[in-house]
Amino acid sequence: VKQNGGNGYHFFSKELEARSKQRLSLEMDLRQAIEHQEFALHYQPKVWTATQQIMGMEALLRWQHPKKGMISPAEFIPLAEELGLLPSIGRWVIIEGCRQLARWQQQGLPPLKLSINVSPQQLKDKSIITLLGKAIEKFSLSPSQLVIEITESLAMEDSTANVELLHAIKALGVDLSIDDFGTGYSSLSYLKHLPFDELKIDRSFLINIPNDRDEVAIVKAIIAMAQSLDLRVVAEGVEEAPQLEFLNKLQCEVIQGFYFSKPLPSKAFAEFVLSHKQ
């Protein structure tokens, strides 16, 4: 305990108390956020590097808190996970994403692939397979229009339950993507038995390309490996033209990042697609 004499301790405990109160109120707010319709999905384009045509978009969750404003998923997803709220939030994301994709199709947008993030914890619940199947049917989507992004983590290594679940998702006809590749401290052996279609190179490996020799070596190796495993390679977090040029030279197939666009609300995303040269 920090104690700098006199009423220092007192002050500190008050601060702690305030912080835990704040967290408690955030918890209560999060429990009601779905009901109160405070969640929204924003969409970030994924672009074919060579032609700069739009391949699809990633749905990214946003929480519009009535008093605190926009709260980042990096902040509330871990809390939701801890509170056991992620499964129901995750179900909302799948349904809302599919509904939006169907709406865009009705509006005449070209057929794009929608990527949905699913945390390893959500994969413990087999009902996700039924939900995906139902959403595809309800919104008359083609399963190949959906991509499920799963963060690379120890959780996806060889446990039989995981292997079966991923094969079951794959059997629906949706694509599976490894998110944040290179950050999960897992061995590469899972790449052999798991039915992935796509690999996303984490932004942390791309920040200093093409100038940093080590980063360049790592990115080259990842791309070569992904290509020989027939995985579509996506570079995430691309912000600058030199990064794009370099990734294009290495034949990295897809680029995602602020260079093209930040994640956008659905209406702005549709406008982006319609104004983008195709």
Q: Which residues bind ligand C2E (CB under 6 A)?
A: 44, 60-61, 72-74, 77, 93, 117-119, 179-180, 236-239, 257-258, 263
- Give the nearest distance from C-beta 44 to ligand C2E in angstroms: 6
- Give the nearest distance from C-beta 180 to ligand C2E in angstroms: 6
Closest CB to Ca ion among residues 1, 188 = 188
Closest CB to ligand C2E among residues 43, 104 = 43
> Contacting Ca ion (CB under 5 A), which of 44, 100, 117, 256?
117
Closest CB to Ca ion among residues 29, 149 = 149
Residue whose CB is nearest to ligand C2E in the complex, by number: 257
- By a kind-dependent CB cut-off of 5 to 8 A, residue 145 interacts, out of ligand C2E, Ca ion, none, with none
Q: Which residue has the tokens 């290509």?
A: 227
Closest CB to Ca ion among residues 114, 135 = 114
- By a kind-dependent CB cut-off of 5 to 8 A, residue 184 interacts, out of ligand C2E, Ca ion, none, with none
Residues with Cβ < 8 Å from 52, sequence gap 6 or more?
277
- Give the nearest distance from C-beta 16 to ligand C2E in angstroms: 28
Query: Of the ranges 11-19, 70-78, 120-128, 171-179, which one interacts with Ca ion (CB under 5 A)?
Result: 171-179
Burial of 163 (0-12, 13-18, 19+ CB in 10 A): middle
Q: Compute the distance between CA of residue 164 and CA of residue 162 in angstroms, rounded to an integer.
A: 5
Q: Compute the distance between CA of residue 205 and CA of residue 77 in angstroms, rounded to an integer.
A: 24
- Give SS3 for 268: helix
CA distances from 34 to 61, 66, 74 (A): 12, 13, 18
Long-range contact pairs involving 101-104 (C-beta distance under 8 Å, separation at least 24): 101/139, 101/141, 101/145, 101/146, 102/139, 102/140, 102/141, 104/270
CA distances from 212 to 52, 109, 217, 233, 255 (A): 25, 39, 9, 20, 19
Q: SS3 breakdown of the chain: % helix, strand, coil, rounded to 5? A: 50, 20, 30
Our finding on whether 149 is near Ca ion (CB under 5 A) is yes
- Give the nearest distance from C-beta 232 to Ca ion in angstroms: 14
Residue pair 254/234 in contact (Cβ under 8 Å)? The answer is yes
Our finding on whether 49 is near Ca ion (CB under 5 A) is no
- Give the nearest distance from C-beta 218 to ligand C2E in angstroms: 18
- Give the nearest distance from C-beta 62 to Ca ion in angstroms: 14
Give the footprint of Ca ion on this chain (CB under 5 A). Answer: 117, 149, 179-180, 236
